[in-house]
Each structure stands twice: as structure tokens, then as C-alpha cells.
Amino acid sequence: MFHRFTLHLILFFVLKVSTVSCQYFQQHVSYKIDVTLDDKNHFLNAFETIEYTNNSRFALTSIYFHLWPNAYKDETTQLFKQTLDDGSTKMYNANEEQRGYIDSLDFYVDNKKAEFHLLKDSIDIMILTLNEPLPPGKKVTITTPFRVKIADASFSRMGHNGQAYYITQWYPKPAVFDQFGWHQMPYLTQGEFYSEFGDYDVKITLPANYTVGATGDLQTASELERLEKLNDNNFDKFDMAFPLSDTETKVLQYKQSNVHDFGWVADKRFHVLKGEVELPNTKRKVTLWAMFTPLEDHLWKNSIEYMHDAAYYYSLWNGDYPYNQITAVDGTIAAGGGMEYPNMTIIGQSRTAHLLEMVIVHEIGHNWFYGILGSNERDHGWMDEGINSFNEMRYVYTKYPIEKFDNRNELSALGKFSHWLHVDKLSDKQVRMGFYKVPALRKTSQAIETKSPDFTSTNYGSIMYTKTALAFDYLKNYLSTEMFDKCMQTYFETWKFKHPYPNDLKNVFMKMSDQNLACCFSIATSRRM
């Protein structure tokens, strides 16, 4: 996710070395989901089939599931409590129409009815009891219908804004079971996710005049033809009103392997642009789609350029993008300036071309650091947000080496005060370094390895994002750009489509560089950095 403090804050970093007590393994989950959008009543009606493979050395008698739409249901959820702690009463004051939930669940395991129950303190987490133990190396088929009431989009990441739909974290999903045990976690706005890799086959039924951006490769030939016809930079006059929904519906099918989530966005007002990027190493070509409303179409006219450059540089520095398409969609969400999902990212209102570029770059970058390298964001958020922010910062001073901060951030948090503070004479990196020092000077700093929900809202941006980014920039300069890139590319090739932990990243850097990097990879518990 693109945090609003990211453009202004800065960082140095230290890694916590975690000790792996048992051998690595990784579960595999394959999904088939058929879902229908009811855009009159703002519901999803769906049926899900899951093939769950137990690759651990343990026999499983139950499986934790996330039912994250329930986070929007009532005042008992951790999401409600977190937003209230952050000073927002919006969810507490919401009426029933604005809130959301998931229901109509009826689980079967290998065609036999199975029992499940919600956790008492987290109604967005459930335990499915298996009818018989699942041995190592074996798999089961789990099915259930489900219905989702889509909440108001002003609360967090999932929701609707009129008939614009941001459908994320929306289906029953097994929690990760890895060498450290189960990782069941409530849905939060500050503190992202951790999910099993697998395969997705999703069919979406909705009125025919919606345009959809989603995870995966679109299989529906007629819709691909429709998108090609919409691909046009001659935008119509400004009109944000929703047209009436077609009475005719269409079914869109998407497939994708080696991802750990599936998100989609639907809107009837989208303009569409199409592009392509040739990856620097394999020379394989990846399709780019930009979908946006008329609200900021004057900014989005160059969005394909931003997407192209993001995919190219992240591939050059870390390893080539392994999927066939990248989609960026314009949407209003409450959680930060944007939010990432495999192959697809949601971009909030930007106001300036530069800010739009930075959010697109950051969110596309999460295809590497969260998407392909699936670390536990809730516990080790710097492995996702921090390393990604370093790549974003590197993008800035690679593409815009002589520009100053003030020229590219007209509507930044400093706004008109930037000249008075002389940041107009500083580089992007210098400004980040200045802002990173604020919590240190105020003695409110926290360790980088702090769990995401435990950061203050300010430190979540200044420490985990920016301090980590500056630390990796320091490490790059210390090792040399060539050696640093070799380390990152080895890390990518070794751990893509897997769940790396801090120690795994440390081991790659220590082995590849053949240097004692204890000064960089030490225990990140100090607040004095």
C-alpha cells in the first residue's frame, strides 16, 4: 500500500534476524470461484471450490479461514477498534446500510458436510473442522456458497462508492500455515496480509456495461475485443455520473497461477488505455492496462508511461515480472493513496501528475515485494513496504536525477511551506532524510521490526517505509550497485512464489557479498536509529 507519509519521510534500518526452528514448507491452495455482482443492492453472491494441499509434515485436523468482509460488520471487530484508536468514528457512526459482512456459508469437505465456528474475539476468522485428519502430502476439496454485503468504500480497502466496486479480501481464504505455525489474523487497515500461493479460476457475472480490472489473465475473447475498442486517449467530456446498468449481463473469466490473492474493480465510467513493456532480461512482453474515470483523466493520459517504467526498472533491478499483464485502476479507497493486489493495483485521487506517477510506481512495485516475494506483512512490514519504498526512491533519482523536491510535489504535505523550509533546494532523498529524523528528535521513534499494527500512524510511514528505504540505499552504496543488484536478483530467484522471512534475506546478502554485514543485519529492537 502507498502510505501518505511515504513521499515525505525517511529511513535508516536494521534487520531482525529470526531463527528458523524447523524446515521450510509451503501449503498450496487452488480456487475456483463463481461470483455475481448485484449492483442494485450492493451484494456479491458466490460459490467457491478450494483444493487445499498439505505440504507440511503434520496431519491437520482443522484449518483457519479468513472471513475478512466480517471486519465491517459491527463494533466488536479489530478493524472498528483500530479506526477508533486512530481517531475516526466513521465506522462507529455508520448505519446498517453502510456496513458489510459475509454470510450464507455452508462448508463441505470432500462432499461431506463440515462444521465451522467463528472465533469469539474475531468474527472475521473461523476454524473449519475437517471430518478426518489431512495427512502430509494429501489434499482435500472444500466447497461453500457465500454472500458478501459490500460495505461503504470510505472505511478501508474493500467497498463500493455508488456503483464503483473495489472487491478485495472478499472470499473465504485459508490462513497461512508455515514453519512457524498458523497465521490467522483479523482484517486491519494499518497492517496488511499474509496468504498462501496457489491458482485462481474466477468467473465474474455482472451487467454488460461494466469495465473490470482484475488479477489474472482475462479468458473472455469478447471482453478483450471490447477493451481494445475502449482503448482511446480521446476522452469524452467530464461526466462522473453513473450510467444505468445494462439489463444484459456478461461472464468474465480470469485465470492466474502462482499468486496469493485475487482482487477486482468494476466501474461503468472507465476510460481505458493499453500499452506494453518489453522486460529487460528475458525480452518477454507484458500487457499494460490503465482504467480510470473522467475525474483525473488529464493526469492519467501518461499513465502507461508510468506503468512501463515501473515494470521495466523493477524487473531490471530485481528480476523480470513473471506474469502476462499489469492493470492500474482509478479508485477511491480510504486506506492510503493506493493498494496493491497481484497483477492489479487501485490508485486513489492524485491531484498532480507526479504524485500519480509515484503511487503507480509504488503499487506496481508491490508485485515484487508482497506479490512474488510473499513475506508476512503483518509481522515484518519493512520487507514489503520498506524494500518497495527503496525501489520507488531509486526510481525517482534514476528517472529524475536533477529535479528538486518542490518541483515534483506541488500538493505535498508541506505545500506552500516547502519554499520557506528550503526543501525546494533539496533532492528527494535529502528531504526524506530530513523527515525521517522527526520521530527521532521527538523521541517517539520505534524499531523497524515493530509489528505493523503496533506502529503509531506517523511512524508507520516514517519508520517502516522511509527509514528502511534509506537503509537499503546505504547498503547499496556500501556494497556497490553491481553487488547489491546481484544480491537482490538472487533473493528474487531463490524466494519468488514463496514466503521469505528476515533471516532468508540476510542469508542471501551475506552469502553473495561474502562480507560481514552484521552492522546492517543486526537485531532491530533499538529505537535510537
Answer whether residue 323 shows pLDDT above 60: yes
Q: What is the 3-state secondary structure (H, E, C) of 426-439?
A: CCHHHHHHHHHHHH
Mean pLDDT in residue range 330-342: 79
Answer whether residue 41 shows pLDDT above 90: yes
Q: What is the pLDDT of residue 438?
A: 75
Q: What is the pLDDT of residue 335?
A: 60
Q: Average pLDDT of the chain?
A: 88
What CATH class has 28-379?
mainly beta
Q: What is the pTM of this model?
A: 0.90
Answer whether residue 405 shows pLDDT above 50: no
Answer whether residue 145 shows pLDDT above 70: yes
C-alpha–C-alpha distance, residues 2 and 336, integer Å: 6
Mean pLDDT in residue range 105-129: 97
Share of the chain above pLDDT 90, in %: 74
Burial class (CB in 10 A: 0-12, 13-18, 19+), 98: middle
In order, the DSSP letters of 237-274 are: PP--SPPPPPSSEEEEEEEEEEES---EEEESS-EEEE
**Nearest CA among 327, 39, 293, 341 for reference residue 168:** 341
**Beta-bridge mates of residue 82:** none
**Which residue has 508511461 as its cell numbers?**
305
User: How far is C-alpha 184 from the chain's CA centre?
Assistant: 18
Q: What is the pLDDT of residue 234?
A: 75
**Nearest CA among 335, 402, 426 for reference residue 8:** 426
Residue 338 identity? G
Mean pLDDT in residue range 344-368: 94
**Nearest CA among 459, 408, 346 for reference residue 6:** 459
C-alpha–C-alpha distance, residues 499 and 194, integer Å: 9
Q: What is the pLDDT of residue 21?
A: 44
**Per-domain residue ranges of the chain:** 28-379, 411-513
Mean pLDDT in residue range 475-487: 96
Q: Name the strand (E) or helix (H) holding 505.
A: helix 502-513
Confidence of residue 425 (pLDDT cuts 50, 70, 90): low
Q: At what angle do helices 353-365 and 385-399 cross, to 10 degrees?
A: 130
**Residues near 73 by Cβ (< 8 Å), separated by ≥ 6?**
99, 100, 101, 123, 124
Burial class (CB in 10 A: 0-12, 13-18, 19+), 452: buried
Mean pLDDT in residue range 325-341: 84
Q: What is the pLDDT of residue 359?
A: 94
Answer whether residue 417 shows pLDDT above 60: no
Q: How does pLDDT run across 191-213, given as a tens digit for each residue?
A: 899 999 999 999 999 999 999 99
Confidence of residue 432 (pLDDT cuts 50, 70, 90): low
Query: Is 272 within 8 Å of 287 (Cβ atoms)?
Result: no
**For 288, phi and psi rounded to 5 degrees?**
-120, 130
Q: What is the pLDDT of residue 418?
A: 53
Confidence of residue 403 (pLDDT cuts 50, 70, 90): low
**Residues near 165 by Cβ (< 8 Å), separated by ≥ 6?**
37, 39, 150, 265, 266, 267
Query: Is 240 within 8 Å of 269 (Cβ atoms)?
Result: yes
